[in-house]
Amino acid sequence: MTVETTPAPATTTDVSFLLHHTAHVLATQMAAALGEIGMSPRAHCVLAHAAQAERTQAQIAELSDLDKTTMVVTVDQLERDGLAERVPSAYDRRARIIKVTPKGEQVVTTGQDIVDRVHGDVLGALPEEERAAFVSALNRLAGGHLATPADSPEGGQGVRRPRQSRK
């Protein structure tokens, strides 16, 4: 005999689900939009950080929250596509600066227009009077209570930690 049970009603809003689901959907929308110009969100992020200032590969990896292997693969692809090149640092002969090519600069500009459009579409789905409060609340969480992942309990599954600067 099968007994059907009704799950207990949630006593609070499932914030984890809401944040995870909306982040996932936004990521897929961003990937699709940047895919129109043959870019991934990760490649655009790396290229945009490189275009903003003279930065080493390690600095861009930290800003982009990428591990070393992923960063190398991403920059290799940007080089193959003629969008960036590695050049020696004037300050550290072991380091490489990621220099954006003229073609890469055009792609960064187009890509940023796409990113701005996708973000605008998200914020545009909210009433105008709620937009600033929404962004402010996300910034407070990202810079405060949700800035750093929790450590796993002994024997628990590990969590990915953000890259820490070596200052």
Tokens of 93: 């002969």
Residue 151 — pLDDT band, cuts 50, 70, 90? confident
C-alpha distances in angstroms, 118 versus 24, 129, 131?
A: 14, 19, 15
Token output for 166: 């070596």
Q: How far is CA 113 from the centre of its chain?
A: 16
Q: Residue with structure tokens 């099968």?
A: 2
Which has the higher per-residue pLDDT, 162 or 76?
Answer: 76
Task: Map out the domains of the chain with their CATH numbers.
Answer: 33-143 (1.10.10.10)
At 17, the pLDDT band (50, 70, 90 cuts) reads: very high
Q: Report the percentage of the chain scoring pLDDT > 90.
A: 75
Contact indicator for 64, 46 with CB cutoff of 8 Å: yes
What is this structure's pTM?
0.80
- pLDDT, tens digit, for every residue of 92-145? 888 999 999 999 999 999 999 999 999 999 999 999 999 999 999 999 999 999
Q: What is the pLDDT of residue 167?
A: 45
